[in-house]
Amino acid sequence: MPEPLLDVDTLSVSYLTDDAKIGAVDRVSLTVHPGEFLGIVGESGCGKSTLLFAIAQLLTPPAEITSGRVVFNGQDLVQLTDGELRHVRWRDYSVVMQSAMNALNPMKSIAAQFKDTMRAHERLSAAAIRTRSEEVLHLVGIDAAHLSSYPHQLSGGMRQRAMIAMALLFTPQLVIMDEPTSALDVVAQRSLMTQIKELQQQFGFAVIFVTHDMSVVAHYSDRVMVMYAGQVAEIGATDSIFARPLHPYSKGLLDAFPSVHGPRRALTGIPGSPPDLGRPPSGCRFHPRCSAAMAQCTTSEPDLYVVGDTQVRCLLYAEQLRDAV
């Protein structure tokens, strides 16, 4: 096995308020290899965006990394100072934010925003900046004429593409994407995903892609991690998770969206809503919403059990493993 590009080790993040400590990310471990596409799936409030921000070292108070390491290219990012991070951030890894509508500065043209980004991380001539800006815009299929456009002159899909172009300015090894497609409609979403995949194959960067819609990553990711209430619920190869989801929560997510081609089935969704992370349920955090919950789920907290090449946090598999022994 080659060295992973990114090795996140038992990372925990808490939001510290005056009277409470809310554990948004709880002992998450994951690895990303060079050129790999990892999808992270979960509902709003499961801590997936917090996890991304923690990996990218973009957390601001009251959020704080309480334990764990984020080893990127052999360096622990958590220990780096802001000055040291500046040399790594955006050059070696970059971030595409959730809504391009808010992430782009409405007062500045695309060219000016690209220039700011490049100036912040490297000393470059105006001509070099111009050439590179035109190149990356061309990569995402936007005419270079739009460099002088302001964000409001672009459609939602084009803004999102411009954000991706911005993330590619320095050809990083890792691009972290926080729901880049959820504000787009299905046609734009499909074409953006195809484009991300093509760029990834062309340049070989790794991708961490966060979404709440499992179907989006089905055809694009190599591995999928399902998050629930700040924890890893299931992590494994995309093919095996979609063919045979192990965790009841992954099954619920897969059954939650209608199909256009297959037979028409009644959708069940997942009853209830994600727990308040200030007061997570006892035992398994999913048990109040779980259709397969057993008596011990309310009391004993499940570990991550290895089943095949998948890891799953569910007591159903603890039983199976015990029986097999």
Partner 1 sequence: MSRPTSGVTETGGAAALLQTRGLSRHFRLGGLLSRRMLHAVDDLDLTIHEREIVALVGESGSGKTTVARLLAMIYPPTRGEIRYRGRSVHKLRSRKDLLWYRGEVPMVFQDPYSAMNPVFRVAHGVMRNLKLHRPELDRAGRREEAERVFDIVGLNPAGDMLRKFPYEMSGGQRQRVGFAQALAVQPKLILADEPVSMLDVSIRAGILNMMAGLRAEEGASILYITHDIASARYVADRIVVMYAGHAVEQGPTDVVLSRPKHPYTQLLLSAVPDPREKAVPVSADTGEPPQVIDPGEGCRFRQRCAYAIDTCATVTPALRPMGPAHDAACHVAEAEPEPVASVPQRRVDTRV
Q: Is 269 in the site for partner 1 (CB under 8 A)?
A: yes
> Which segments of 30-109 does DSSP mark as H helices, in order?
48-55, 82-88, 100-103
Task: Report phi then psi at 60, rounded to 5.
Answer: -120, 150
Using DSSP bridges, classify how beta strands 93-96 and 174-178 pair: parallel, antiparallel or unpaired.
Answer: parallel
Please, which of residues 200-219 interact with partner 1 by CB under 8 A? 212-216, 218-219
**DSSP string for 131-166:** HHHHHHHHHTT--GGGGG--GGGS-HHHHHHHHHHH
Q: Is 322 in the site for partner 1 (CB under 8 A)?
A: no
**Could you say which of 76, 135, 198, 303 contacts partner 1 (CB under 8 A)?**
198
Q: Is 251 in the site for partner 1 (CB under 8 A)?
A: no
b (16+ CB within 10 A) / e for 307-319: beebbbbbbbbbe
Using DSSP bridges, classify how beta strands 63-72 and 75-76 pair: parallel, antiparallel or unpaired.
Answer: antiparallel
Q: Is 144 in the site for partner 1 (CB under 8 A)?
A: no
Q: Is 278 in the site for partner 1 (CB under 8 A)?
A: no
| Interface mask toward partner 1 for 81-120; x: CB under 8 A | ----------------------------------------
We find the least distance from the C-beta atom of residue 56 to partner 1, in angstroms, to be 23
Q: Determine the interface stretch with partner 1 among 29-37, 165-173, 181-189, 311-319 (rule: CB under 8 A).
A: 181-189
Q: Is 242 in the site for partner 1 (CB under 8 A)?
A: yes
Tell me if residue 293 falls in helix, strand or coil.
coil
**Could you say which of 256, 280, 281, 320 contacts partner 1 (CB under 8 A)?**
256
We find the least distance from the C-beta atom of residue 76 to partner 1, in angstroms, to be 34
We find the least distance from the C-beta atom of residue 116 to partner 1, in angstroms, to be 26
Residues that bind partner 1 (CB under 8 A): 43-44, 141, 155-158, 184-191, 194-195, 198, 212-216, 218-219, 242, 252-262, 264, 266-271, 273
